[in-house]
Amino acid sequence: MPDASARLATDLQAAFGPPRVLADAAARAPYERDWRGRTAAACVAVLLPRSVAEVQDMVRWCHRHGVAIVPQGGNTGLCGGSVPHPGTQRPQVILAPGRLQTVRAVDPDNDAITVEAGCTLQSVQELAARHDRLFPLSLASEGSCQVGGALSTNAGGVQVLRYGSMRALTLGLEVVLPDGALWSSLRGLRKDNTGYDLKQLFIGAEGTLGIITAATLRLFPLPQRQAVAWIALADVRRALDLFHALRHQIGDRLSAFELIGRLPLDLAIRHLPGARDPLSAVHPWQVLVQADGIAAGEFGEHLAAVLARVPDLASDAVIAQSEAQARTLWQLRENLSEAQRLEGPSLKHDISLPQSRIAAFIEQARTALEASEPGVAIVCFGHLGDGNLHYNLFPARRDSSTADIAQRHASLTRIVHDLVAAHGGSFSAEHGIGQFKVDELERYGDPVGLHLMRRLKQTWDPDNLFNPGKLFPL
Ligand SMILES: Cc1cc2nc3c(=O)[nH]c(=O)nc-3n(C[C@H](O)[C@H](O)[C@H](O)COP(=O)(O)OP(=O)(O)OC[C@H]3O[C@@H](n4cnc5c(N)ncnc54)[C@H](O)[C@@H]3O)c2cc1C
C-alpha cells in the first residue's frame, strides 16, 4: 500500500478503532473483488460501522479528508458498482453497512416493516412470514444481497409482474448524505404529496448520492395457496400469447412468468446435480408460471380453459402437486445463472423490451449474431412477464487471444444493444450501470436526461465523494 494510503488507514483506525476499519490486504481482498471476479481494485480500508451515527461520523471524516466512498452491501451486484473503480486516482474506502441489521418496527396493521440496510432480503422475507405477511422481492441472490443494495440497484427478480420492483415496494428511506447529514422519511405513508418524492432519487442511484441506512417496506397478505406450472411451447410468440391469455383469465394473481430457452435448460441439466427436464420430450421453449391465491387444481382448470380457446398454444405442461415439486421447478430456474458460470465465461446482456417487440427481437438478434459469428450459442431466459430477458452468449471460438475475444465481445454486444435500442428497449433492465455499463449509458442515454442526472449529482455531491466512476464516467 503506498505511504499516503497507509497513513490514511492508520488515521481511520485511530479514529474509529481497528474492528471497524479493515486495513490489512488479506482482510480487504474479498470486498475489493466483484461477484463475478471481473474487476478488483485496492481501497485504503473497509469501514464496518455498527450504527447510523457511526456511518455519519465516517462520512464526515471522509469528506474532511477528500476520501471517496464506495458503498457496499452483499457485493452481489453484477455491474461492478460495489467495488472501487480501478481508474480512480483519489483514495477510496469501501463502506459496508452490513452490520446495521436492526429491525426498527414491524407494523402488520399498516402492512409495513422498517429495517436497517444491512438486513439480507431473505431475512426480511422470513420476518414478514413470521407475521403472516409477504415481502415479495425475490432473487436468486436473496440470501446474500442486502436491503441497501437491493434499493440502490432497484432490484427486480421473479415477482415484479405482480408486486413491482424495489421502487414500488418502498414507503420511506433513511439516508446519510455526502456531508454527513441524515435525511429520513420512515413514516410508512402510502400517500404524501408534499413536493418531490426524494426517496425515488436514492432508489437505483447505485450509491452515488449517499448511504441508505434504513427503509420502510411494503408487506402483502401471505398467499394461502400458490400454483406453479412448467409449460412447454413451440416459440416465443406463443409464450407471449399464453401470458396475455392467462392474465385475461386470472388477472393480477399471475405473479411470475419466466421464459427459459432450450440451451439454458440443457446447461442446468448438464451441470447441476440432480437437475432434470420436468417434461419427457425436448421442447425449444418453456415458461415457469406462478399464480398466487390459486390452488393447483383450480389453476389447471384455468389453463385448460385457455388452451380450449387456443388449442396449439402449449405443447405440454406439468403443474406442481406439492410444495416440494414447486420448489424443484423454481430451483431449476434459479440455478440457470450458476449452470452458465460452470459452463464457462459468457457475454451477458440484461435487456428489456416492450413485450410486443420481444418475438421480433429474438428472431432478428439470432440472425444478426449468427451472421457475425457463426456458431455463437445463445442463452436466452428471463422475466418475460416484465419484458426482461437475460440474453447471454457463448462465442463460437473460445480459444482466441484475449484481445481478439474482447474485440469480438464488443461487436456482439453492439449488435444486441443496437437492436434493443431500435426496438425501443433498454440495455440495462434490472442490474444497473455500475462501472461496466457507463459507456453504454453515454451511448444510448437520452442527452437531456443525462444532463439532468449530472446536474443532480453535482448539486448533491459536489466533491464527487460517492462512488466515483459509477453511473458517470470518471
Ligand atoms: C445469482 C444472482 C442472481 C441475481 N438475480 C437478480 C435478479 O433476478 N434481479 C435483480 O434485480 N438483480 C439480481 N442480481 C443482482 C444483485 O443481486 C442485486 O442487484 C442486489 O440487489 C444487489 O444487492 P447487494 O446488497 O449485493 O448490493 P451490492 O452489490 O453490494 O451493491 C450494489 C450497488 O448498490 C450500492 N449500495 C449497496 N449498499 C448500499 C447502501 N446501503 N447505500 C447506498 N448504496 C448502496 C453499491 O455501491 C452498488 O452500486 C443477481 C445477482 C446474482 C449474483
The CATH class given to the 3-98 domain equals: alpha beta
For residue 67, the model assigns a pLDDT of 97
According to CATH, the topology of domain 226-338 is Alpha-Beta Plaits (3.30.70)
Extract the C-alpha cell encoding 71: 458503498
Mean pLDDT of all residues belonging to the chain: 95
Please state, for a pLDDT cut of 90, what percent of the chain lies above it.
93
The model's pLDDT over 123-150, given as tens digits with 9 standing for 90+, comes to 999 999 999 999 999 998 999 999 999 9
For residue 65, the model assigns a pLDDT of 96
Distance CA 228, CA 151 (A): 28
pLDDT at 100 exceeding the cut of 80:
yes
145 lines ligand 1 (CB under 6 A): yes
Candidate of 101, 102, 139, 346 to mutate for ligand 1, largest count of ligand atoms within 8 Å of Cβ: 139
Q: What is the CATH code of the structural domain delimited by 345-431?
A: 3.30.70.2740
| Cα of 154 from ligand 1 centre, angstroms | 8
**What is the number of the ligand 1 atom nearest to the C-alpha of 34?**
29
Distance CA 133, CA 189 (A): 18
117 lines ligand 1 (CB under 6 A): yes
> Candidates 3.30.465.10, 3.40.718.10, 3.90.1150.10, 3.40.50.920; correct CATH number of 100-221?
3.30.465.10
For residue 29, the model assigns a pLDDT of 97
The model's pLDDT over 397-415, given as tens digits with 9 standing for 90+, comes to 666 666 677 788 899 999 9
For residue 401, the model assigns a pLDDT of 63
Answer whether 3-98 and 226-338 agree in fold: no
Closest to 329 measured CA to CA, from 228, 446, 186: 228
State mean pLDDT over 318-327: 97
pTM of the prediction?
0.94
Residue environment code for 295-313, b if the CB has 16+ CB neighbours within 10 A, otherwise e: ebeebbebbeebbeeeeeb
For residue 10, the model assigns a pLDDT of 97
CB-neighbour burial class of residue 406 (10 A; exposed 0-12, middle 13-18, buried 19+) = exposed
For residue 398, the model assigns a pLDDT of 64
Domain residue ranges in the chain: 3-98, 100-221, 226-338, 345-431
The model's pLDDT over 189-228, given as tens digits with 9 standing for 90+, comes to 999 999 999 999 999 999 999 999 999 999 999 999 999 9
